[in-house]
């Protein structure tokens, strides 16, 4: 019970903190002092209190989307192992519920962007939809390969790689983690795929989809987005940590990994420019190739000499 | 017909007969009462047919009735076993919705005085023949029912036969169906010769004794039934026939009729019992390809109904993946994999018929109001047709397989089967399953791309033409009610899957010929999903209501943000082609693009236009060359048809002589 409550607290605060740490890291590399790491929470509270401005063109879809976004993000979190290596609803094939629940959120995010009738938002939606088509199969390949390796089709199999993979374990973990890390960059719309700090609508992906959202709608969408990033990072942390660890050591290391991921993202954003839009697909395909590497490693481990 | 009828079989036959006759009796009514009369008849017949079906489903027993018509048609068995029963439920309930919907859809044609009596007769005979196909267990009678089904659906497709392209699509459909039926006839003929009887029960022995023979029979049957179902590469008729037909007919065809193809495949499978490995992998691979191919071409389409037709190919692919996974489970002796795969496939048959009908019917509503199927000139319809828009939205979310709707449940079962199958320690199984998993994930995301495109272009934003902006009111209740019924069904199955799952166990047992023990694990998982889905749905609805209350008065309205430009017009919106373009540009080699461009020229350009048509690669590179070759080859024989009576008599004479010589030699 205590672990569940702690999980809930982590789910509520860590996504904000991760955003804060990313911004702090960027400030650090830019030689600035930067805002406090708790700034995203303050922003959230400030936005929640504000009124809305809504486009005349929009319909009911636009109004319910923020709620569906946040609801799907939190619902998906129930199926993912968080700080204690066990998901709240730990069912077989939970990955499907996880991915498809997030898919529902994405579906509404896309149609809500199109609902405004703005060509910029359509552009963002179309890009986001296209990238997802490549990311999802790669994600499924990575997880399914791990499940094939461990013979366990719940999310528990993530922590069991080392027990099953022998010498291949480290390699499999490295490639799986890098693949999922790229997924964070793509799905969380970070540099080099997308620049969350850009001011030019033409080059945006995720930010441009929510141009017309304001007030608490915007707050909910931003929160949902940070939770999504947090969830994929959780998967990474669970892959990295072996199941043999003691419960609270596990949780401590878990938090450490989450913050490390944020620092890495912040460092990448400071050190790298975004890729030209026409080349983003090539970047996204790197994830697919990594997924195939994971698959071949698993197959080599299981059937190779 | 003197044999004793069991009370349940009596219900079934009365239901079928009632529906069949109602088409003819309707001729006597006033033209405004014809369709309502058939609707009532179809509701009664649906009730009569589903009673024995549910009985067979829940009790898991077979209802058998032998009919004697004399001659070779003696001793024909009609059997309602759980597998047939499931299809009877799908066919009778779903066709009922479509026929009720026809009340509203045909109103326009009644007003312009079109003769639609034959249409009604063929409509009822189509449903009747489908009901008979799934129960008939005699090869000869099966083929007759199958042919009635194909022919009546052909006449339904060419309802507006005065339009040339519709007639063309209809004839294409007719040709495809008759090429496919040859394969079915071959399969059944070989079986009957080997078994010495037309009865399905006799086939079992032959099929189970000889694996090689069973493989060949399955291949023939798969081509034959697969053409009806729309597996790639036999799918080519689908995207032409569905848009040509009136909406309620395309709903019946896409929602139910193509499932008889799936039924045929499943029936042969049930006769074979334990399929060979090569068949199992073959079905899995072809299904993954079908699913990908279908959804890929769906993204390229701008014709609303053509797009939905391609999605039928996709969903047939998903059903096929389920069947393939089930077969792999059977051959490798894993009961849970087989159960999940088959149950997912069968449930997807039901689910697809629900949401695909919903989508086709709402597309029909859009068509009746706007008289166009081109999505590029629609837009903003959610304001003038709110009910249709919401129903279409529910259908699209369901077809993408997203929770908490029904599509998710069947896809989840298929996925669960595949993930569980990864524990089978075999190189080929693991490789095939992982590619199938990745393929299905790709299909899912592409479906999301496709349906976000079509929903937002048709219903959201601002109207892109007068056709869309002139719509003032939603369609009538006769069209909304059957659609709402379907929408509620999608939600109910999504929220309480465990009850539906209990219905699936008996059919799966028939498929595996009771060869494997099934565990109870999926029911428990579905139970948890059900609780999750109910909570999720409740909380989302609750939050939406809360938001409405809290945010009253806090909202200001303004123009859409146009980066400082505040006179955006309708044509500046994103279009369907541009929405799909980043994705499609990545997959260029898979299409044959036909551009029709006239660039603006000189200082004061006058006319300019751009249009892009994407051809089906299979049609362009396989079907069309085949037809060309055929034409070229047959043209060599043109000289024989001289129109000269003497030469025809000469042919007759030569033929006779040849026969006599042949008889003498052999």
Mean pLDDT of B603-626: 82
CA-based nearest residue in chain A for residue B565 = A118
A255 in a structural domain: yes
From B580's Cα to the closest Cα of chain A, the distance in A is 7
Question: Tokens 């430009």 map to which residue?
Answer: B565
**Residue A302 forms contact with B (CB below 8 Å):** yes
Q: How far apart are CA A275 and CA A273, in angstroms?
A: 6
pLDDT tens-place string over residues A150-163: 988 888 888 888 88
Mean pLDDT of A22-41: 93
| Window 418-447 of B, Cβ < 8 Å to A | 418-420, 422-423, 425, 427, 430-431, 433-434, 437-442, 444-446
Asked whether the predicted pLDDT for residue B389 surpasses 90, the reply is yes
Q: Provide the 10 A C-beta neighbour count for residue A151.
A: 15
Helices (H), chain A: 2-29, 39-49, 60-77, 94-115, 119-150, 161-165, 169-187, 206-209, 215-240, 247-271, 280-303
Residue A56 lies in a domain: yes
Q: Does the pLDDT at position B548 exceed 80?
A: yes
**Banded pLDDT at B3 (limits 50, 70, 90):** very low
Is residue B190's pLDDT more than 50? yes
Q: Which pLDDT score, from 0 to 100, does residue B388 have?
A: 94
Q: Is residue A196 part of a domain?
A: yes
- Check: CB of residue A156 under 8 Å from CB of residue A86: yes
Q: Chain A contacts of B433, Cβ < 8 Å?
A: 144, 148
Percent of chain B with pLDDT over 70: 99
Longest Cα–Cα distance of chain B, Å, equals 99
Max mean pLDDT range (A112-121, B6-15, B531-540):
B531-540
* Chain B residues touching residue A299 (CB < 8 angstroms): 427, 430-431
pLDDT in tens, A73-123: 999 999 999 888 788 888 988 999 999 999 999 999 999 999 988 888 898
Classify residue A102: in a domain, yes or no.
Answer: yes
Whether the per-residue pLDDT at B532 is higher than 60: the answer is yes
Burial string for B312-343 (b: 16+ CB within 10 Å, else e) reads bbbbbbbbbbbbbbbbbbbbbebbbbbbbbbb
Pairwise pLDDT comparison (B145 vs A197), residue with the higher score: B145
Token pair belonging to B431: 């490789």
B397 has a chain A CB within 8 A of its CB:
yes
A15 in any annotated domain: no
- Mean pLDDT to the nearest integer, B435-460: 94
Rounded CA-CA distance B409/B401 in Å is: 8
Tell me the whole-structure pTM to 2 decimals: 0.94
Q: Convert the pLDDT of each residue in A248-260 to its tens digit.
A: 899 999 999 999 9
For the stretch B356-366, pLDDT in tens is: 999 999 999 99
Confidence of residue B155 (pLDDT cuts 50, 70, 90): very high
Task: Return the minimum-mean-pLDDT range out of B416-430, B481-495, B546-560.
Answer: B546-560
In a domain? residue A22 = no
Cα torsion A88, A89, A92, A93: sign: negative
pLDDT, tens digit (0-9, with 9 covering 90-100), for A207-237: 888 888 888 899 999 999 999 999 999 999 9
pLDDT of residue B177: 93
By C-alpha distance, the chain B residue nearest A128 is B449
Q: Give yes or no for residue B227 having a pLDDT over 90.
A: yes
Are B578 and A122 in contact (CB < 8 Å)?
yes
Within-domain flag for A114: yes
Share of chain A above pLDDT 90, in %: 61
Position B2 scores a pLDDT of: 38
pLDDT at B4 over 50: no
Residue B34 contacts residue B149 (beta carbons within 8 Å): no
According to the model, what pLDDT value does residue B1 have? 36
B598 φ/ψ angles, rounded to the nearest 5 degrees? -130, 110
A133–B449 C-beta distance less than 8 A: yes
Q: What's the average model confidence in pLDDT over B498-523? A: 84
B456 in A contact zone (CB under 8 Å): yes
Residues of B numbered 118-177 whose beta carbons fall under 8 angstroms of chain A's beta carbons: which are they?
A: none
Can you give the pLDDT at residue A305? 61
- A139: which chain B residues are within 8 Å (Cβ-Cβ)? 441
Cα-Cα-Cα-Cα dihedral sign, residues B304, B306, B312, B315: negative
Give pLDDT, residue A88. 86
Domain count, chain A: 1
* pLDDT recorded at residue A243: 84
**pLDDT beyond 50 at B494:** yes
Of A68, A132, A153, the CB nearest to B422: A153
**Residue B30 has what pLDDT?**
86
Which domain range does residue A135 map to? Answer: 52-303
Mean pLDDT, range B640-646, rounded to an integer: 84
Whether A144 and B419 lie within 8 Å, measured CB to CB: yes
**Which of B401, B434, B439 is closest, CB to CB, to A295?**
B434
* Distance of residue A84 Cα from the nearest chain B Cα, in angstroms: 21
* B94-103, B453-462, B612-621: least confidently modelled range: B612-621
In a domain, A130, yes or no: yes
């Amino acid at each position: 019970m205590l672990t569940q409550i702690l999980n809930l607290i982590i789910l509520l605060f860590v996504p904000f903190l991760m955003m804060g740490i990313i911004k702090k890291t960027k400030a650090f590399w830019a030689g600035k002092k930067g805002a406090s790491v708790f700034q995203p929470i303050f922003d959230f509270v400030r936005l929640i209190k504000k009124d809305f401005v809504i486009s005349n063109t929009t319909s009911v879809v636009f109004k319910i989307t923020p709620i569906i976004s946040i609801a799907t993000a939190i619902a998906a979190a129930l199926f993912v192992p968080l700080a204690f290596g066990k998901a709240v609803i730990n069912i077989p094939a939970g990955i499907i519920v996880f991915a498809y629940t997030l898919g529902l959120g994405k579906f509404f995010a896309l149609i809500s962007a199109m609902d405004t009738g703005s060509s910029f938002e359509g552009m963002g939606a179309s890009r986001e939809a296209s990238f997802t088509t490549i990311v999802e199969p790669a994600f499924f390949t990575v997880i399914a390969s791990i499940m094939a390796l461990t013979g366990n089709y719940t999310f528990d199999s993530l922590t069991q790689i080392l027990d099953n993979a022998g010498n291949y374990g480290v390699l499999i973990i490295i490639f799986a983690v890098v693949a999922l890390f790229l997924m964070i960059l793509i799905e969380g719309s970070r540099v080099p795929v997308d620049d969350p700090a850009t001011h030019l609508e033409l080059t945006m992906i995720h930010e441009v989809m929510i141009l017309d959202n304001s007030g608490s709608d915007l707050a909910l969408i931003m929160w949902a987005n940070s939770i999504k990033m947090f969830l994929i990072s959780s998967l990474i942390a669970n892959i990295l940590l072996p199941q043999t660890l003691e419960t609270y050591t596990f949780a401590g290391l878990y938090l450490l990994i989450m913050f490390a991921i944020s620092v890495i993202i912040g460092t990448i954003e400071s050190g790298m420019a975004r890729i030209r839009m026409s080349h983003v697909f090539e970047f996204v395909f790197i994830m697919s190739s990594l997924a195939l590497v994971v698959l071949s490693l698993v197959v080599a481990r299981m059937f190779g000499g | 017909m003197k044999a004793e009828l069991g009370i349940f079989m009596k219900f079934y036959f009365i239901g079928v007969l009632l529906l069949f006759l109602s088409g003819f009796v309707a001729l006597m009514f006033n033209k405004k009462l014809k369709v309502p009369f058939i609707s009532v008849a179809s509701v009664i017949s649906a009730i009569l047919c589903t009673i024995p079906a549910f009985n067979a489903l829940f009790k898991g027993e077979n209802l058998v009735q032998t009919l004697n018509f004399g001659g070779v048609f003696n001793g024909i068995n009609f059997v309602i076993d759980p597998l047939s029963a499931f299809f009877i439920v799908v066919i009778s309930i779903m066709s009922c919705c479509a026929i009720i919907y026809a009340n509203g859809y045909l109103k326009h044609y009644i007003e312009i005085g079109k003769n639609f009596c034959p249409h009604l007769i063929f409509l009822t005979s189509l449903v009747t023949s489908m009901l008979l196909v799934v129960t008939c267990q005699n090869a000869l009678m099966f083929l007759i029912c199958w042919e009635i089904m194909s022919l009546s659906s052909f006449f339904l497709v060419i309802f507006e036969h005065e339009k040339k392209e519709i007639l063309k699509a209809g004839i294409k459909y007719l040709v495809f169906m008759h090429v496919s039926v040859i394969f079915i006839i071959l399969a059944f003929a070989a079986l009957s010769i080997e078994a010495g009887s037309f009865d399905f029960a006799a086939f079992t022995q032959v099929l189970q004794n000889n694996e090689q023979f069973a493989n060949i029979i399955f291949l023939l049957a798969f081509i034959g039934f697969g053409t009806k179902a729309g597996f790639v590469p036999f799918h080519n008729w689908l995207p032409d026939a569905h848009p040509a037909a009136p909406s309620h007919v395309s709903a019946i065809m896409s929602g139910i009729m193509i499932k008889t193809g799936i039924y045929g495949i499943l029936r042969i499978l049930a006769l074979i019992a334990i399929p060979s490995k090569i068949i199992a992998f073959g079905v899995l691979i072809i299904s993954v390809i079908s699913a990908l191919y279908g959804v890929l071409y769906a993204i390229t389409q701008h014709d609303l109904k053509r797009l939905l037709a391609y999605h039928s190919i996709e969903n047939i692919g998903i059903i096929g993946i389920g069947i393939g996974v089930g077969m792999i489970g059977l051959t490798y002796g894993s009961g849970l994999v087989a159960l999940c795969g088959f149950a997912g496939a069968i449930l997807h048959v039901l689910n697809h018929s629900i949401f695909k009908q919903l989508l086709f019917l709402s597309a029909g509503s859009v068509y009746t109001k706007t008289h166009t199927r081109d999505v590029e000139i629609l837009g903003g319809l959610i304001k003038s047709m709110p009910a249709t828009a919401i129903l279409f939205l529910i259908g699209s979310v369901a077809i993408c397989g997203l929770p908490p709707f029904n599509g998710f449940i069947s896809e989840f079962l298929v996925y669960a089967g595949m993930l569980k199958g990864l524990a089978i320690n075999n190189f080929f199984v693991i490789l095939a399953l992982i590619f199938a998993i990745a393929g299905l994930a790709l299909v899912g995301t592409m479906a999301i791309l496709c349906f976000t495109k079509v929903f937002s272009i048709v219903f959201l934003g601002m109207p892109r033409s007068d056709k869309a902006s002139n719509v003032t009111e939603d369609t009538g209740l006769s069209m909304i009610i059957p659609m709402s019924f379907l929408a509620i069904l999608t939600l109910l199955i999504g929220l309480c899957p465990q009850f539906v799952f209990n219905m699936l166990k008996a059919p799966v047992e028939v498929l595996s010929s009771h060869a494997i023990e099934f565990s109870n694990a999926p029911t428990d998982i579905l139970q948890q999903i059900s609780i999750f889905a109910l909570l999720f749905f409740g909380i989302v609805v609750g939050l939406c209501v809360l938001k409405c209350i809290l945010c009253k008065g806090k909202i200001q309205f303004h123009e859409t943000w146009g980066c400082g430009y505040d006179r955006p017009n309708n044509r500046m919106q994103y279009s369907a082609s541009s929405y799909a373009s980043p994705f499609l540009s990545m997959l260029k080699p898979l299409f044959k693009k036909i551009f029709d461009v006239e660039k603006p020229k000189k200082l004061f350009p006058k006319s300019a236009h751009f249009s892009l048509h994407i051809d089906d690669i299979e049609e362009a590179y396989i079907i069309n060359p085949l037809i060309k070759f055929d034409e070229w080859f047959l043209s060599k024989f043109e000289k024989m048809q001289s129109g000269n009576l003497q030469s025809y008599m000469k042919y007759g004479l030569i033929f006779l002589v040849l026969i006599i010589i042949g008889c003498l030699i052999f």
